């Protein structure tokens, strides 16, 4: 995913590693793309070695050099391959640890299981708020001109969080029912 995002950024315009990091940080790529912002420089070195990007210019800032990279034609072709792969590879993610915890909740005292699920609710609410803040920043940065596919991504993120919130709420309802001897 890092290679894909770096190449996409460089396809927009030549940028330094720092500029790419800031742009990805602003779009919250760590959250939705699973990209570790610190891995950008490693990706740049590898992409350059493979001929997908090249140094566009070097600026001297004090005792340091700032490299600005640009995508090559080979890099544009590779970017298309990466996009194709991203669109065709299935990416279903299940909250597997939550599923396992709910499946075996009866190994805990009911009150402890309830408190744990309430913590899950708090986490999901924070996640929703975080995505909402990212949405607002994106809207501001684009002056309200959100591309339809980006809108679609955000809509899906919100729906996914709401669905998990509903799931946890139902689990809490089951825990609070009179018959706590059932299994999910």
Q: Do 157 and 176 touch, CB atoms closer than 8 A? A: no
Residue 67 belongs to domain spanning: 2-88
CATH code for the domain of 15: 1.10.10.10
Confirm whether 181 is domain-assigned: no
Q: Does residue 143 carry a pLDDT above 90?
A: no
- Together in a domain, 39 and 109: no
Q: What is the number of structural domains in the chain?
A: 2
Q: Do 72 and 14 touch, CB atoms closer than 8 A? A: no
- Together in a domain, 147 and 166: yes
- Together in a domain, 114 and 80: no
- Together in a domain, 38 and 109: no
Check the CA dihedral 161-167-170-175 and report its sign: negative
- Together in a domain, 61 and 114: no
Mean pLDDT rounded to a whole number for the chain: 88
- Together in a domain, 104 and 82: no
Confirm whether 25 is domain-assigned: yes
Confirm whether 182 is domain-assigned: no
- Together in a domain, 123 and 73: no
Confirm whether 165 is domain-assigned: yes
pTM over 0.75: no
Give per-residue pLDDT as tens, 98-116.
899 888 888 899 899 999 9
Residues 6+ apart with CB under 8 A from 122: none
- Together in a domain, 125 and 73: no
Q: Does residue 171 carry a pLDDT above 60?
A: yes
How many CB atoms sit inside 10 A of residue 16's CB?
17
């Amino acid at each position: 995913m890092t290679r894909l995002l770096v190449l996409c950024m460089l396809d927009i315009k030549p940028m330094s590693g720092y500029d790419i990091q800031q742009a990805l940080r602003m779009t919250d790529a760590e959250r939705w793309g699973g990209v570790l912002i610190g891995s950008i420089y490693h990706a740049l070195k590898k992409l350059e070695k493979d001929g997908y990007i090249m140094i566009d210019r070097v600026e001297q800032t004090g005792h340091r050099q700032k490299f600005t990279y640009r995508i090559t034609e080979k890099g544009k072709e590779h970017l298309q391959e990466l996009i194709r792969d991203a669109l065709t590879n299935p990416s279903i993610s299940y909250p597997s640890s939550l599923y396992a915890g709910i499946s075996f909740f009866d190994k805990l005292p009911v009150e402890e299981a309830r408190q744990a699920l309430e913590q899950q609710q708090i986490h999901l609410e924070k996640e929703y708020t975080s995505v909402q803040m990212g949405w607002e920043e994106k809207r501001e940065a684009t002056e309200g001109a959100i591309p339809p596919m980006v809108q679609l991504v955000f809509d899906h993120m919100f729906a996914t969080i709401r669905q998990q919130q509903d799931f946890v709420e139902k689990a809490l309802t089951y825990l609070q029912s009179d018959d706590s001897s059932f299994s999910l």
